[in-house]
């Protein structure tokens, strides 16, 4: 199946803004792509997932922040609006991701640890609970490419704070945000 056909199939299968399956598979791909498969390699602050999902799912968004990082060019108004929309959707999505993360923990697919001093919850996959070939599907090839692009732009994304990530992705690209 061609990449274009796969992308079309995914658009038919999932409603990007509302579908828990869409959020679940992108969150799990994100954790896998950042090698968050143990407590020592956890994603610091699971709430970052709410903002990163769109970048995992949409190569155009990843392309926007990649091009500004490489070319040091100013974003067009259209690109700034896309990033602003992504930021706003992430804010709205935070409570959904919170419920999703705790449901995935109940089912044993992920583990969570709350840091006592900060109250921030770290997350990692439980690889022995997920079928070995799940992440090898060609269906997810573009998502892993987007994750690799994110890793090249923000190599410490897994460990940086939520506010630092938001500043690096949004504020540094001319999008106004507020502390979350």
Phi/psi of residue 110, each to 5°?
A: -135, 165
Which residues span the domain enclosing 83? Answer: 3-173
Q: Is residue 74 part of a domain?
A: yes
Q: What is the per-residue pLDDT across 129-179, written as a single tens digit (0 to 9) for each?
A: 988 788 877 788 999 999 999 999 999 999 999 999 999 999 988 888 876
Q: Is residue 178 part of a domain?
A: no
What does the pLDDT read at residue 171? 92
Q: Is residue 16 part of a domain?
A: yes
* Tokens (6 digits) for 8: 């079309």
Phi/psi of residue 112, each to 5°?
A: -130, 150
C-alpha 56/C-alpha 31 separation (Å) is 11
* Tokens (6 digits) for 172: 């540094």
Q: What is the per-residue pLDDT across 49-77, written as a single tens digit (0 to 9) for each?
A: 999 999 999 999 998 988 766 666 788 89
Q: What is the per-residue pLDDT across 119-137, written as a single tens digit (0 to 9) for each?
A: 999 999 998 998 878 887 7
Q: Is residue 58 part of a domain?
A: yes
Q: Is residue 147 part of a domain?
A: yes
Mean pLDDT of the chain: 87
What residues contact residue 51 under an 8 Å CB cut-off, 6+ apart? 86, 87, 90, 93, 162, 165, 166, 169
Closest CA to 110 of 121, 125, 98, 96: 125
Phi/psi of residue 121, each to 5°?
A: -105, 120
Q: Is residue 179 part of a domain?
A: no
Domain count, the chain: 1
What does the pLDDT read at residue 12? 45
Q: Is residue 46 part of a domain?
A: yes
H/E element, 141: helix 141-153
* Tokens (6 digits) for 80: 């700034």
Q: Is residue 17 part of a domain?
A: yes
């Amino acid at each position: 199946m061609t990449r274009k056909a796969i992308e079309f199939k995914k658009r038919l299968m999932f409603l990007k803004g509302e579908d828990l399956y869409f959020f679940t598979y992108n969150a799990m791909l994100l954790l896998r792509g950042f090698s968050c498969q143990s407590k020592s390699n956890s994603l610091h602050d699971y709430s970052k997932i709410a903002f990163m999902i769109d970048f995992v799912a949409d190569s155009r968004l990843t392309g926007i922040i990649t091009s500004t990082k490489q070319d040091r060019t100013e974003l067009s108004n259209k690109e700034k609006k896309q990033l602003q929309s992504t930021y706003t959707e992430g804010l709205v999505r935070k409570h959904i991701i919170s419920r999703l993360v705790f449901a995935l923990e109940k089912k044993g697919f992920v583990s969570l640890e709350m840091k006592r001093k900060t109250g921030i919850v770290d997350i990692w996959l439980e690889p022995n609970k997920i079928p070995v070939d799940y992440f090898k599907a060609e269906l997810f090839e573009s998502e892993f490419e987007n994750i690799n692009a994110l890793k090249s732009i923000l190599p410490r994304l897994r460990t940086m704070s939520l506010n630092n990530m938001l500043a690096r992705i949004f504020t540094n690209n001319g999008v106004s945000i507020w502390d979350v």
